[in-house]
Amino acid sequence: MIQPDTTLLLGFPDYAPQARALAVALGAPYAEIEVHRFPDGESRLRLPGRLPPRVILCRSLDDPNAKLVELLIAAATARELGARELTLVAPYLCYMRQDIAFNPGEAVSQRIVGRWLADHFDGVISVDPHLHRVPDLVTAVPAARTLSLSAAPLLGEFAARNFDRPLLLGPDEESAPWVEAAARAGGLQGAVAHKERHGDRSVAIRLPDVEVRDRVVVLIDDIASTGRTLACAAGLLYARGAVAVHALVTHALFDPDAERQLREAGVRSLHSTDSIAHPSNAIALSGLLAGGCAEICARTAEET
């Protein structure tokens, strides 16, 4: 249970509408951190002069390098200004895909950034963090309380509402849990393809043995970055006779060329959650995140 007199939600300008919506869903007051960028690239942050004991910082960590430094400055300052219990809500959690050294000498950034966040926050909440070689969020981010939420049921409900009896298709084995949860929530059929990645912008996909002729197919994935995964899957589906291919993703990272890739592959529509601000945002996460904050708050009360 969130207590509005002892809790404050703090947002940053680059994720303010989503952070404000979370504060409304939580029934907590909201304040925005002022960020001034000096000509040399450094940042000056300004928080409210006094803070209540419980502070929730909400910022998504796409394009993360500068955001991480500001986040850690904000967290340390929040402690100095009175916060005793600090929770980070990062709908998109960065560096989760660099979870092993793929080549000798490579940094395992997931572990390093995770440890860094855990040193500053008591609680960390994220949505569908990319955890494939680690069992859970606390292994990647060893904070006292962590919570990994999933937007997959919201994607499934969206697909059921907006498309005509679609087949949900995950482009690779890693997407299997999301496709399963989305299919269950939407009462839809789901299937998963096989993918091999040959480089940042090069993937090969093998479709599963499922009939797609004359069907509407909705591709479901956690992340779309270069768009190559979705574009490649769409091309194969049309070659097999699919009548329309749409895409639904949790985290719309999208590099500048991604949307062209999808258009050229014939992807008819692209929708995403608002974990990362993007024109394709169609599914708000505020309700899901508010439930997560309430759960972390209850766990804190039990444990302290």
Tell me the catalytic residues. Answer: 195
Instruction: Give least dist CB 151 to ligand R5P, A.
Output: 13
42 vs 257 by CB, closer to ligand R5P: 257
Instruction: Give least dist CB 219 to ligand R5P, A.
Output: 10
81 vs 108 by CB, closer to ligand R5P: 108
Instruction: Give least dist CB 226 to ligand R5P, A.
Output: 3
Binding site for ligand R5P (CB under 6 A): 171-172, 174-175, 203, 221-229
Q: Record the tokens describing residue 81, joined without a space.
A: 């200004």
> Amino acid letter at 17?
P
Task: Return the ∠ at Cα 146 (arms to 153 and 281), rounded to 5°.
Answer: 40
153 vs 291 by CB, closer to ligand R5P: 153
10 vs 224 by CB, closer to ligand R5P: 224
Question: Distance between CA 117 and CA 144 in Å, rounded?
Answer: 11
Question: Distance between CA 205 and CA 263 in Å, rounded?
Answer: 18
Instruction: Give least dist CB 122 to ligand R5P, A.
Output: 29
Residue 67 contacts residue 20 (beta carbons within 8 Å): no
141 vs 203 by CB, closer to ligand R5P: 203
Task: Return the ∠ at Cα 58 (arms to 56 and 60), rounded to 5°.
Answer: 155
CA Rg, the chain, in Å? 20
